[in-house]
């Protein structure tokens, strides 16, 4: 999902995200935007359902 949105999001993390830090702001931005897109498409989805959408990809990276 590397696009202008994720690039911009990675370059400008929220203050609380910056305070905590990240090993990879680009990857973090992509995960945040993916979750946001899923919630937008499925407003009734619970947090657990949103995580189910992204966990397989995250597991492959390990």
- Give how far Cα 20 sits from Cα of 2, 8, 13, 32, 60, Å: 23, 19, 10, 15, 25
Q: Are 53 and 34 in contact (CB under 8 A)?
A: yes
Tokens of 59: 């597991």
**pTM strictly above 0.75:** no
Three-class SS of residue 42? coil
Lowest-confidence region among 10-14, 20-24, 44-48: 44-48
Domain that holds residue 12: 4-61
Rounded mean pLDDT, 22-47: 84
**Number of domains present in the structure of the chain:** 1
């Amino acid at each position: 999902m590397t696009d202008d949105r994720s690039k911009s999001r990675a370059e400008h993390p929220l203050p609380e995200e910056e305070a905590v830090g990240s090993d990879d702001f680009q990857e973090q931005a992509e995960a945040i935007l993916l979750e946001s897109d899923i919630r937008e498409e499925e407003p009734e989805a619970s947090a657990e359902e949103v995580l189910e959408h992204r966990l397989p990809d995250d597991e492959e990276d390990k």
